[in-house]
Structure 1
Amino acid sequence: MIIVGAKGFAKELLQIVSVDMDLPDNDIVFFDNVSTDLPLKIYDRFRVLTSFEAVTAYLSKSKDKSFVLGLGQPKYRKDLYQKFIELGAQPVSVISKNAEVGSFDVNINKGVSVLSGSKISNSVDIGKGCLIYYNTIITHDCNIGDFVEVSPNVTILGRCRIGKYTTLGASSVILPDVTVGSNVTVGAGSVVLNDVPDYSTIVGVPGRII
């Protein structure tokens, strides 16, 4: 499995891939073609691929073609998701064993990461490439669009709709029946009472568009 990224979030994702999924060290590699300060191996155990050519060579020899997105920011996640598919890799979702996911009418698409402490209720749809960070709560009948980043301690209450490429800041709260558009940034700690149009930034309690 390739973890796309090799720094902050990628190291957090390693906990799920290595420990929860119990993959051997040799079956886990990182990818980072931007950073110049990385060791040859992360934690002296997991090697780093530093170019797309190296990814292509790795995929040609490996039976496991899977990859997970080990980086934040919706745009970067979308771009690398598409690039790795073009290279022949296959997106998979990873869910911490310490997350709680409802048993009824839950759809989690490919390339989603769900971290420890998250709670996802029944009748929830999560689009591809989303990041559901620590201690998030997503209650019933919610729809989360593609490549949404949900920061730690976010609460999304019943029947909400979150548009694609949106970022919900840490500890923000989306009240019931609210629609948050696409490419929206919700500031940390904000409480969103009303619908938010596309390409907006909203902050404060109650949330206001700036």
Structure 2
Amino acid sequence: AYVAGRMAGLTADRAFMDYTFIHFSGLADNRAGQWSAAICDTLGVPMDVLPEIVEPWRVIGEVTEAAARDFGLAPGTPIAAGCGDTAANALGAGIVRPGQVFDVAGTASVLAGCTDHFVADTTHRALLTMRSVIPGLWNPLAYIAGGGQALRWFRDEFYKYEIRDTKYEARDATDEDSARISYLVSRISRDTYDMMVAGLLVGPHAGAFLPRDAGEHRL
């Protein structure tokens, strides 16, 4: 929305957010598709400073002369509001009917379904409910902010070593991977631990990945 607004030369009072993204704000009545007066009042947030909630296909402006020079686009090209990345993934993957499920294995990991009614996870509070691009559909989803990024860190840190010896011992063939990983973990010190990953390994087992004394880690 920020880039689109800059390309269209919008001022702050014309800021917008598409309805597939409002669940991330913490200020919205997602079921109604609007800002929550109750939440805003409780938090002391003036509703008149919030962006307008729009449909993803809403044309919010046109490419300005300056933006045309910067981006190599034709001036006057219409700019649509667009939607959030996961909402776009769902649409592109053909998630257009209730009962369908899709998985996103990117920097963030997402597992989501499709329903024709709003579902709030008030029991476990683990699922988000995203509005689909398609009116009347919803995507309840589990979201891990660093799923793919954590895997990349694991690869970069653990497998940058070439194992050409037998310092790790496996009890049997099925234990080979566990023994190899334990050996690799023992070679990672506090100095090489990327603290950014500590914030990505979320959930009840996050503590198992936090660095202990040098050479001592739990898996």
TM-score range, shorter chain: under 0.3
TM-score by length of 1: 0.26
TM-score by length of 2: 0.26
Larger Rg: 2
Higher helix share: 2
